[in-house]
Amino acid sequence: MSSVLVQLAALPTLLRDRSAEGRRALLDCITALYLSDADNCSETVREGFGMLLKDLGAVADEDGRAALAAALLDVETPPMVLVDALLNDTAFVAAPLLVHSPQLAEDDLIDLIDRHGAGHAAVIAQRQGLSATLVSHIVALEDPHSLTCLAENADAPLQRADFEILLKAAPALPALQLALITRPDLPADVAIQLGWHVAPQLGGKAFERAVAIQPDALQLALQTAAARGITTGDAQPHPPHALAFAVDKQTRNELKEPLVVRLLRDGQLDAFHACFDRLTGIDRATSEALLEEPGGYGLMTACRAAGFARSTCSTLVRLGEMGSRRGTEEVFRLMSCFETLDPATADRLVGYWRALFASEPLEDDHSTEAPHRAAM
């Protein structure tokens, strides 16, 4: 009671203060008076406080209104006129209610998104207990911030179609990439596709998550995977002259790392792909995609699986159109991944590429062992 009396005593002074600080202090004072006995107020008193606080909030700053919204979370039956005003304020002001208020039904949240757009959607995306319908409604906006918030919310029930839209947006959004890779419900084939579009360290995590799944669980995912620049189907053949060149070099025991480096540096792409593919056991379509992949993780993985030296891998990831865009720091990160990537894991991933694009069956771990090593 003494605190209430103190607040009442301060009202005359606060009412005369027209400064921004004074208006915020008046809002805080009336809020404290209301909260002191909010759950015992009659409906008439509650609605009276609601109208008063709504009017005071209209002349207060955003921080003051956001604090008022947060304070209402402790009230069992807040005045709806005030709640409605705060929910239809800026996303910053409405955030406490949008994220935590148990009184908001799914239809209410969808209506707020439809009326206020991406700002409110991004906040609602952080809410616990979202339904699949509400998640899809947020995803459909394709707003980068909303998508990232949704992916970071491990409680949000993402459906297959939602992951497809998130995957499409991920290459330009590092925070979304990280959020997707750490989701426990990330499908294996989405992880594989994501690995082609992210920085090397994240690409490693994406690929390792996919290949950690049992082969029989990953087989279906691999059939629908569409890594950058690659389409499913039979392995793409090499031009006859390039294939003959590679066979001749192998016969002469000259099919070695310095040769593929020289061919790529000189721009002899047909001969490079034929030789590189003979060393790694992958087809041309896959090796072309490795050169075009922004992150460089795929090319690095193929080098690791083939047993290439670090210097060879470092040179290859610097060459070509994509390589020329990589800075020293990015190449250094790739080489750090090269040294820490388990060769068996790299070999297994390359084996999956062979199985996917050459239509080879995936029966067990031994089915992905690199055939080129035995032949070399």
Instruction: Profile the chain (376 residues) by mean pLDDT over runs of 10 residues.
Output: 50 57 73 78 83 80 91 89 93 96 94 96 96 96 96 94 91 88 83 68 66 48 39 63 93 95 93 92 81 78 92 89 72 84 78 56 33 34
Q: Residue 358: what pLDDT?
A: 47
Q: Residue 43: what pLDDT?
A: 83
Q: Residue 241: what pLDDT?
A: 93
Query: Residue 44: CB partners within 8 Å, gap ≥ 6?
Result: none
Going along 252-334, which residue ranges are E strands? none
Q: Residue 129: what pLDDT?
A: 94
Residue 336 · residue 204 · CB < 8 Å: no
| Residue 165 CB coordination number (10 Å) | 16
Q: How far is CA 28 from the centre of its chain?
A: 39
Q: Residue 314: what pLDDT?
A: 92
Q: Residue 45: what pLDDT?
A: 84
Two tokens, residue 31: 């809020």
